[in-house]
Structure formats: structure tokens, C-alpha cells
Amino acid sequence: MFNVGDKIVYPMHGAGTIVSIDEKNILGETESYYTLEMPGAVKVMVPTSKAEDIGVRSIIDKESAGKVFKILENDSTEMSMNWNKRYRDNMEKMKSGDIYEVADVVRNLSFKQKEKGLSTGEKKMLLNARQILVSELVLAEHASQDEVENLVDSTLLASFSENQHTDKAEGNVVKKFIPFDSTLD
């Protein structure tokens, strides 16, 4: 059970704050709902009785945030060469609501974007995964969104450079990480 003011994560949406707990009558059924304020001034209502079942959880602490950055510092994990399978695998990781799995998706897709580029679907997935990751880290680190985005980008750049990812088709070593820009399609 969560309380008003608690910082929580709603899988596939990111981290937010419970601003109220209200009784609502919907289709003749009265139920208690958490009203969450999410990034971008979005409000979401989640039935309190189903919150745990759908993966709502408390945000991570500062120590766990450090572990997230360790994941971003590691080399990418192996992903399927088949984009459809890779997309499904990454979607499962994101649906899990596990911040470490989301960090894995962000790192892997960021590296893949620099190495070979991403499909439109994977670009959208990377944007969504980054938003979920950043929203939780902002609350866990008590930092601004810009500070966290810069820290994520610099961590990925250092990791990418350290691991010297090579484009096997071209034989080129990619030496510069360019942060994902959602305005480019």
C-alpha cells in the first residue's frame, strides 16, 4: 500500500508521485485509485487493488541508482540479429518494470544506434526507455532532468568509447556517441 506523496514507478510510463487516493465509481463499481502525477504533467489513475499486480513499485534508492549507472557503463549484452525478436525481447524487459532491465535496453539500443542505426520502432522504444529511466533517476538522485540526461549520455559515451564498438560490415570503429535526438526521423 502506498501513501500520498510516495514516489513510485508505473511500468511502461515511468516514475511519478502519488498526488491523491480517491474513491471513484466507474460503471457502477466503486474502487479506490491512486492518482499519479507523471513527467510532462500527465496524470494517471491506477486501481489500488491492482497496483501491485501491474508492477507499480517504489522508486529505487540512491545506492540502486549507482547500480543502474554500472549497467550503463558495461558493454552491451548480446541481442538477436533479427530486429523483430530483438524488439520483442526488449519490450519484455521494459514491461517488467525492472529499472536494471530498462537500463540494459537503453544501453543496448544506444550502442546499436551508433553502430548501425535503429528502425523507427526501435528509435521510439529507445526514446520511451530513456524517458522511463531518466524519470526514475531524477527522483532517486534528487536531480534535474537535464542533469540526469547529461549523466546518462556521458556514461554511455564513456562506455561506448571504452568498449570500442566496431561496425563489422565497414570495419570502422565508432568513436563518438551522439545522444539520441527524438526530433530526427
Q: What is the pLDDT of residues 49-72, one digit of tens each?
A: 999 999 999 999 999 999 999 999
Grid cell in block for residue 12: 511502461
For the chain, give the percent of residues with pLDDT over 90: 70
Spatial distance between the Cα atoms of 22 and 44, rounded to a whole number of angstroms? 12
In the chain, DSSP assigns E strands to 7-10, 14-26, 29-38, 42-47, 57-58, 166-167, 172-173
Pick the CATH number of 62-173 from 3.30.1380.20, 1.20.58.1290, 3.40.50.1860, 3.50.50.60: 1.20.58.1290
Local confidence band at 80 (pLDDT 50, 70, 90 cut-offs): confident
Do the beta carbons of residue 132 and residue 14 sit within 8 Å?
yes
Is pLDDT at 172 greater than 60 in this prediction?
A: no
Spatial distance between the Cα atoms of 110 and 104, rounded to a whole number of angstroms? 10
CATH class of 7-58: mainly beta
Is pLDDT at 169 greater than 50 in this prediction?
A: no
Rounded mean pLDDT of the chain? 87
pTM score of the predicted model: 0.83
Spatial distance between the Cα atoms of 29 and 51, rounded to a whole number of angstroms? 17
pLDDT at position 171 is 44
pLDDT at position 182 is 47
- Annotated domain spans of the chain: 7-58, 62-173
